[in-house]
Structure 1
């Protein structure tokens, strides 16, 4: 079919478009309120309009295999998400049911399967009684347009011309099973914006802004898209009956959540997440003194640069995502003289030099979990794409320290704290991985003469 969609160019609209007041006045414009998903004709779709992803896998063998290991495939069954969803549904009396689910099971939302009962059920119960896919083949390749840049503002059109229709990035794609429609939207980052920009549906606070972070970055100016990093190409066939291609977009959708992937048994995917984190940042000491003096205070500066992420470090899920510096000083005997950045009681210790978004409620109290109560951003000290931040550590060198001193800084990441995982799932039900993104070590001598005088050595 000689058709194309999504040729409009994206703008830098950070808030709801069209204006929230207009959407509120015309409720039919948001049939799945407060989520912004839409369908052709604003109608609830039929479950029979969609195939199981396994059907897609019969022809798109390698792509299906890759997707099956991804967090996209687990978007609905992610245990941390489901625990938070249950809490949010109960706390808001169901007001956020559609909102949360519309980007974790778009087909579940647009086919009218979402209820408070489903959202509050266990993963095992919903799998048996209300099976719904996460973000699967049928989700992304049935999106025909977007109506905005946040909160799931996609348009789902599974049978736009009376038979199965799939939208994608190729103009020469032909299938014996479904119609194929070229979609320029699928080649651009604003396709991802619909679910990777999240605005609180009632307070309008910007909860997540991954797309906007990219849009205002050097990557956007250089036409490097989300797909370039998260769907890198490989040589092969997109479908078993299709032609050999120099570049087929991979469907691993590698991100940073090694913890949940490992928990679900997807160990190769977890390693890809670790590799992506390792390529995202670099760390170095700012010029250190030639030597240090026992008994005196000294300050060490550490520079952390975002060299590989097209968005802030970290990005997404503000209640959980955290990067921090674990800084340690040891003397020649191995004795720990100073440390800041340890994990204590399931969270980073007080005053840790971290990089994170802190959300607050109407009274200015920081929110660790209850994002549905967020009305403001208290602080955001994350690292911009191609940017850097310098953090300082001040400590006293003990008078009896034995030189030389070894200074070590580790840059760590976790998708959420162990304390949060224990609270949501139960003590030690999920072991949260602390992924090391970068490390730097350097030795600094102690002044021997002054060290001897300080310790009373003849």
Structure 2
């Protein structure tokens, strides 16, 4: 009984005083526009405006994924009908709360385009769940804004000091998600909570909202620890750079043509507080390429040595493997065989992924259509080391010395998806996370 009472008390504390996020429970006019906030919070507004929080609805891939896939699917498949509003609850929460479902496309210029704005985060009072997911936030728009400080004294509104806004649970309300089939399709919060950083008290905001001296508002006091609203994640090259360490080793320093060389690549996730890739990991791509380049610039790609674990075939690039067939069904494309599962990743490269499968057992990027994703999880956890082995035979026509190079790449979506939907190249181009290089003499 005592445990039950404590659990209820915990939920009440998390829930705060606001209303649970429900479709159509408010009106657009209940929320101020970001430009209104920007009049005083100029630097914070500019940071937010350039962030993906501001672009959570207008971003090209989000527009395609919702209007060409999720929405049409929700209208024809009863099991996923909730996606019609569910996606919008986090990607365009003003539209969801105002009942503007489905919202018009970004080109219409509605308030859905404001994305995750100031008035969303600073009006959230808590959550209805002990471990939040699926837009389980409570919200109360009005004159009182939720903030991290008890001594803030703004001119145009009041502030209520909130521990919740500084917690990992705050982020979890949208960054963890279960599909209509009961599969966890976003688990960034749960990955963090199961790892070492949660135990050390390092939360999402510590990495994604760096603190520095400055002012929150033009007329406010200078403080030593203003949280910057850049929200950098895997979309930012500077955030990705060096996120995973790589070391490369060879069992020989001198070789002759025809010699066999054993290579070992050691990868260590020492900087990311959750799995990498995380979030919408059904579409994220992280892969390792190992190349041999001779003195004339001729190169050979070396395939990874299989380890033999269950589901490994999904973690080794195969140009002949096709997936994403549900796209054809949703878009009603006759004789659609799917798209290349691994895009332009070279054959034999190691892919660090957790594949998602639809009810028909096909690999999918439609997270709302995910029935199972427990076959294999070969991503890199926080402070985890993965070792990949390679073998190559020195070509007869190679000219020394030989340079062995390991490159770890990342892209937001498979290139085959980006090319199919004619997305801008920056949406799916490979970003270099890290590299390692050694040289072998050729006698």
| 3-state SS of 2:114 partner | coil
Deviations 1:389-430 (A, max 9, x none): 111222222233233211001111111122211222x27676
Deviations 1:323-357 (A, max 9, x none): 11121102222221334599978431333211112
Which residue in 2 is equivalent to 1:184? 163
Give 1:102 shift.
Answer: 0.6
Deviations 1:176-223 (A, max 9, x none): 2112101110111111111111111x2110101111111111111111
Which range is displaced more, 142-151 or 88-97? 88-97
- How has the CA–CA distance of structure 1 residues 300 and 203 changed in structure 2, closer, same or farther, with 3 Å as cutoff? same
Instruction: Give matches, 1:291-306, under 5 Å.
Output: 291-306=254-269
Q: Distance in 2 between matches of 1:43 and 1:375?
A: 29
Give 1:365 shift.
Answer: 1.9
Q: Does 1:436 align with 2:418?
A: no
Which residue in 2 is equivalent to 1:236? 214
Q: Distance in 1 between matches of 2:423 and 2:220?
A: 49
CA contact (8 A) 2:106 2:113 kept: no
Which residue in 2 is equivalent to 1:89? 71
Instruction: Give matches, 1:156-195, under 5 Å.
Output: 156-159=139-142, 164-195=143-174
CA contact (8 A) 2:249 2:438 kept: no
Give 1:381 shift.
Answer: 0.5
TM-score of the superposition, structure 1-length normalised?
A: 0.79
- 1:275 corresponds to which of 238, 241, 253: 238
Which residue in 2 is equivalent to 1:262? none
Q: Distance in 1 between matches of 2:230 and 2:416?
A: 29
The number of equivalent residue pairs is 387
Q: Distance in 2 between matches of 1:350 and 1:334?
A: 20
CA contact (8 A) 1:209 1:316 kept: yes
Q: Does 1:386 align with 2:364?
A: no
- How has the CA–CA distance of structure 1 residues 241 and 102 changed in structure 2, closer, same or farther, with 3 Å as cutoff? same
Which residue in 1 is equivalent to 2:5? none
Q: Distance in 2 between matches of 1:415 and 1:292?
A: 39
Give 1:225 shift.
Answer: 1.0
Which residue in 2 is equivalent to 1:28? none
Give 1:289 shift.
Answer: 2.2
Which residue in 2 is equivalent to 1:45? 26
Give 1:256 shift.
Answer: 1.7
CA contact (8 A) 1:337 1:398 kept: no
Which residue in 1 is equivalent to 2:89? 102
Q: Distance in 2 between matches of 1:415 and 1:240?
A: 36
- How has the CA–CA distance of structure 1 residues 422 and 312 changed in structure 2, closer, same or farther, with 3 Å as cutoff? same
Q: Distance in 2 between matches of 1:187 and 1:311?
A: 18
Q: Distance in 1 between matches of 2:147 and 2:300?
A: 57
Which residue in 2 is equivalent to 1:207? 185
CA contact (8 A) 1:56 1:64 kept: yes
Which residue in 2 is equivalent to 1:313? 276
Give 1:293 shift.
Answer: 4.2
Which residue in 2 is equivalent to 1:284? 247
- How has the CA–CA distance of structure 1 residues 412 and 251 changed in structure 2, closer, same or farther, with 3 Å as cutoff? same
Deviations 1:146-185 (A, max 9, x none): 11211111001113xxxx2200111111222112101110
Give 1:321 shift.
Answer: 1.1
Q: Distance in 1 between matches of 2:209 and 2:37?
A: 18
CA contact (8 A) 2:188 2:279 kept: yes
Instruction: Give matches, 1:24-103, under 5 Å.
Output: 38=21, 44-86=25-67, 87-93=69-75, 94-103=81-90
Q: Distance in 1 between matches of 2:303 and 2:250?
A: 20
CA contact (8 A) 1:310 1:385 kept: yes
Q: Distance in 1 between matches of 2:218 and 2:318?
A: 49
Deviations 1:248-279 (A, max 9, x none): 0000111121xxxxxxxxxxxxxxx2121114
Which residue in 2 is equivalent to 1:21? none
Q: Does 1:373 align with 2:369?
A: yes
Q: Give the unaligned 5+ runs of structure 1.
A: 1-7, 11-16, 19-30, 32-36, 258-272, 449-458
Instruction: Give matches, 1:395-434, under 5 Å.
Output: 395-424=392-421, 426=422, 432-434=428-430
CA contact (8 A) 1:213 1:311 kept: yes
Q: Distance in 2 between matches of 1:430 and 1:285?
A: 29
- 1:323 corresponds to which of 286, 300, 312: 286
CA contact (8 A) 1:421 1:430 kept: no
TM-score of the superposition, structure 2-length normalised?
A: 0.82
Give 1:236 shift.
Answer: 1.2
CA contact (8 A) 1:305 1:389 kept: yes
Q: Distance in 1 between matches of 2:426 and 2:234?
A: 16
- How has the CA–CA distance of structure 1 residues 402 and 279 changed in structure 2, closer, same or farther, with 3 Å as cutoff? closer
Give 1:9 shift.
Answer: 6.7
Q: Distance in 1 between matches of 2:196 and 2:376?
A: 23
